[in-house]
Amino acid sequence: MKKVLCLLLALSMVLALVACGNDNKQNDYTKQPDNSQQTPGDTQQPDNNKPAELITVGVINNDPNESGYRTANDAAMRAMFTEENGYKATFYNNNDAAQQIAEAQQMVQNEVDFLLLSPASTTGWDTVLKDAQAAGTQVILFDRMLEADESMYVAAVVSDMPAEGKTAVDWLAAQGLSEYNIIHIQGHMGSDAQLGRTGALDEKVAAEASWNYVTQQTADWDEATARTIVQSVIDSGKPFNVIYAENNGMARGAVAALDAAGITHGKDGDVIVMGFDSDKWAFEAVLEGSWNYMGLCNPLQAETVDQIIKDLVAGNAPAQKIIYTPEQGFDCNTLTQADVDTYGT
């Protein structure tokens, strides 16, 4: 009797798991901002007897759960590449470059017209890119760059990470503090975003005598780790007046540690708090003066990519190969509700 019960229990759990898996694909993006109530549905294989005008695209992206930025990025891609917009799309999400490459290989074999790629790592893509070229699949990079000759892809719509870092550091320099004692919380080491955002700050700290690192640690984009790092600096009693966190989640963790120790931050506070990305709640934190600065990293490349594809199909090559998404920094003194509504995701 017990055995039967247990078997049933286990079976129902397995079924629940399977159900979850399916629902995941179908439902995830129904809550997205716009028209695409019709989710990409059964996108696994391009249909053979599809209407001729549908453009087949394979989209390879990172894991949407990675961060709020990625969630917005992935959702925008899925909302854009739908049948209503003239696409037959296949989506694949993974943070592991090896898996991404295997899936890309498969998509090239299925002879998609366009391969849209946000590579998890910058290297290892040579074979796929060559195969794609041989098969007549055009590759468009979005969001992240990879290391390959420019001739291997038709366009790249990416964030200019070094520029993001530079904008932020210039803003910080403009605050005119007599001394900069910085807690630098880095993202996942070696990622495009971390390298760009760290690079600008490293350069400035090396150049200026009054700029110092109190600590420079990676929290791997994790809020809890960032909180621990700041907590340990507070416990050690070293003075600091700037927190430069390379994404919003980590800035949030840092602020939690400040709050717990009763250290004021933000507008008129003792500590300047800086974050990056595009989360709406972070914009709101800047708006209410709890943070000082947020560097926008625009996750919405889908429209630009769509335009490039339409142009290419019409026979027009894009004017420039690498297109940087428009980005800027927001300051707590100048940010408006309108900005929050426009750029917040």
Partner 1 sequence: MTTPVKDPKAPVQKPREGLLKRLTRHQLFIPLAALALLVLFNLIADPSFFMVTMKENSLGNPVLSGNIISVLDNASELVILAIGMTLVTASSGGQDISVGAAMAIAGSVILRLVCGGQVSADTMAMPLILAVLAGVVVSALFGAFNGALVAYFKIQPMVATLILFTAGRSIAAWINNNQLPIMNDLSFKYAGTFLPGIPVPTPIFITAAVILFFWLALKFTNLGLYTQSVGINASSSRLNGLDPKLIKLLTYVILGVCVAIAGFVRVSRSGSINYSRIAENIEMDAILAVALGGNALGGGKFNIYGSIVGAYVIQFLTTTLYKYEVPSTALPAYKAVVVILLVVLSAPVVQEKLANLKRAPVKAAKEVS
- Site for partner 1, rule CB under 8 A: 2-3, 6-7, 9-10, 13-14, 17, 20-21, 23-24, 27-31, 63-68, 71, 75, 95, 189, 215-225, 227-229, 231-232, 234-237, 249, 252-253, 256, 258-264, 280-281
> In the bound complex, what is the minimum distance in angstroms from residue 246's beta carbon to partner 1?
13
Are 99 and 107 in contact, with CB atoms under 8 Å apart?
no
Q: Which residue's CB is nearer to partner 1, number 37 or number 109?
A: 37
CB of 295 to partner 1, least distance (A): 19
- Gap between the Cα atoms of 224 and 222, Å rounded: 6
From residue 31, how far is each of 66, 72, 129, 306 by CA, in Å? 18, 11, 34, 21
Nearer to partner 1, 6 or 317 (CB): 6
Residue number, 179 or 235, with CB nearest to partner 1: 235
> CB 227 → partner 1: shortest distance, Å?
7
Residue closer to partner 1 by CB (options 167, 218) is 218
Output the six-digit token pair for 238.
């070293």
The distance of closest approach from Cβ of residue 23 to partner 1 in the complex, given in angstroms and rounded to an integer, is 6
Dihedral, 145, 148, 151, 154 alpha carbons, nearest 10: -30
Whole-angstrom distance, CA of residue 88 vs CA of residue 81? 7
* Radius of gyration for the alpha carbons in the chain, expressed in angstroms and rounded: 23
Q: Under DSSP, is residue 25 helix (H, G, I), strand (E, B) or coil?
A: helix
Q: Which of 287, 185, 297 is nearest to 244 (CA)?
A: 185
User: Do 106 and 145 touch, CB atoms closer than 8 A?
Assistant: no
Q: Which is nearer to partner 1, 234 or 313 (CB)?
A: 234
Helix (H, G, I), strand (E, B) or coil at 168: helix
* Nearest to partner 1 of 138, 345 (CB atom): 345
Nearest to 249 by CA among 219, 216, 293: 219
* Complex with partner 1: residue 94 or 133, whichever CB lies closer: 94
Task: Tell the smallest beta-carbon distance from residue 302 to partner 1 (Å).
Answer: 17
Hey, what are 298's tokens? 């625009």
Whole-number minimum distance, CB 156 to partner 1, in Å?
25
Helices (H), 146-214: 161-173, 192-207
Nearer to partner 1, 66 or 203 (CB): 66
Provide the minimum distance between the beta carbon of 32 and partner 1 in the complex, in angstroms, as a whole number.
10
| Residue in this structure with the two tokens 């590759």, named with its chain if needed | 139
Could you tell me the smallest distance in angstroms from the CB atom of residue 127 to partner 1? 27
φ, ψ (nearest 5 deg) of residue 271: -120, 135
Distance CA 152, CA 321 (A): 11
Residues in the chain: 345
